[in-house]
Amino acid sequence: MPNMKQLHPIMFAGTGSDVGKSILAAAFCRIFRQDGYHPAPFKAQNMALNSYATPEGLEIGRAQAVQAEAAGIPCHTDMNPLLLKPQSDHTSQVVLNGRPIGNRDAYGYWKKDNLELRSEVCHAFDRLAQRFNPIVMEGAGSIAEINLKEHDLVNLPMARHAKADVVLVGDIDRGGVFASVYGSIMLQSPEDRKLIKGIIVNKFRGDMHLFDEGRRLLEDICGVPVLGVIPFFKDIHIEEEDSMALGEKLHVRSRDAGKVNIAVVMLQHLSNYTDFDALEQDPRIHLFYTNNVDDIRQADIIILPGTKSTLHDLYELRRNGCAQAIIQAYRAGATVLGICGGYQMMGMEVLDPMHVESEIERLPGLGLLPTTTTMSAEKITRQVTARANFPISGDSPEQMRGYEIHMGETLPMGNAPAQPLVTFGDGRTDGYFLDHHCMGTYVHGILDNSCFVDFLLQPFADKLRRENASFDYATFKEQQYDQLADHVRRHVDMDKIYEILTKQ
């Protein structure tokens, strides 16, 4: 066990996207916590549609919220001061220190706002470094995008500011690991090359001894030690935010006998798909993503998820036939649940008089709920606690937790009665509960609460095997963080890493 001395910040930078930087950062947040340190994650700039609300009601990337959870601390905007939420191929909503500051095109973002944003992310790191030890940093994409280096806020320029030791992560599973690692190092300036203190080869498949010679060759050509070769794994489940992870989920088959089959409607602008991670691990449930109308009609439960563009995705649901399939499935006995943008779509209409999302001022909804939604420019972000307004098992309703991130207000339409799904701890209400088979909510993370999932599954109890009981997702996640830490410890040289992080 190392002494509890001050450690240098450590940055996991990558040879490309999806090489495993986020997962490794989460692993080391848990490892340092297990070893008695007080770590915190940091990523200067993140681009993702999956986000999370901090306890202060501000918005950060979901990956840093997961890493904070692995570190055993509440998440904070200083952990991800700059979040870009893509709205098209060319524009993104810019969230700075947890609050949206407007939309930017790529040129405006990279060229005009760079100096101001660089100052903001550096200040955020400095504040975090005063409170935690060590800071576990994550880079973005590839460190070798030399055409963008002048404006890079998140990779080696950030490591220079933080005086961080950089560990370069390469993905051997995709091939070309020697070229990608060597090229990434050689394309750096001599000053930045000195920051790279080690290499981790990630996602190795097969006999580890077969790479012994490869490890030696990599160290020889790069002049940097290989700190670990980490085997590929599929049996450890950590929430991911990358769109590539979502793409892998699309290959799951659409039905499974003996389980409740849940279809998440695959929207073009689907966001916060980590809402469904708990369901994916629940042994009673078979969850799949689809926009196939036959799959939707055959599902037991259909979930309309969150979206970054409610009006566009609502229009597309009508165009591709999914809207009609959802309505038909509900009439045939399926349950339909809408979350956030999906909840908005389930109503009678969605209005956008101020053109917050598009030039379309009104679209009819699916007509499943007697509600109307008006889009607004104000974004609501907050963590919430709630109690159910629907019948759940047990003598006393269990308190649920989640978070809101949305733009727009949904109200009962005309003379329709208010039938909220939940009541928040401050007395506000949320959502609409039409019946046991039709409901909507703005609360992300509601499916992490076992009492709500049990309620959803009640109408399909005859399909469940007797041994399948309630699933405790919070306990499951803690076990997964520990398993991830154990896996990484076994395959990296922790003594060498601590030596690097304490060397004067």
- Active site (catalytic) residues: 340, 444
Asked if 308 contacts 85 with a C-beta cutoff of 8 angstroms, the reply is: yes
The residue written with tokens 């307004």 in the block is 389
Q: What single string gives the DSSP state of each residue in 118-156?
A: HHHHHHHHHHHHTT-BSEEEE--SBTT-GGGGGG-SSSH
CA distance 199 to 159: 16
Query: What is the rounded distance in angstroms from the CA atom of residue 449 to the CA atom of residue 161?
Result: 41
Name the DSSP letter for residue 329.
H
Which SS3 state, helix, strand or coil, does residue 242 take? coil
Can you tell me the distance from the alpha carbon of 375 to that of 84, in angstroms, rounded to the nearest whole number? 21
Q: Angle of helix 310-319 relative to helix 322-331, nearest 10 degrees?
A: 80
By residue count, the chain amounts to 504
First-residue to last-residue Cα distance in the chain: 20
Nearest to residue 391, comparing CAs of 469, 468, 458? Answer: 458
DSSP 38: B
Residues 302, 337 contacting (CB under 8 angstroms)? yes
Amino acid sitting at position 205:
R
Q: Are 322 and 344 in contact (CB under 8 A)?
A: no
Q: Vertex 320, ends 314 and 367: CA angle to 5°?
A: 45
Residue 308 and residue 84 in contact, taking contact as beta carbons nearer than 8 Å: no
Query: Which residue, 164, 176, 211, 233, is CA-closest to 23?
Result: 233
Dihedral sign computed on CA atoms, order 36, 38, 43, 44: negative
Q: Which H or E element spans position 278?
A: helix 277-281
Q: What is the DSSP letter of 321?
A: T
**Pairing relation of β-strands 438-441 and 432-435?**
antiparallel
Is the Cβ–Cβ distance between 109 and 94 less than 8 Å? yes
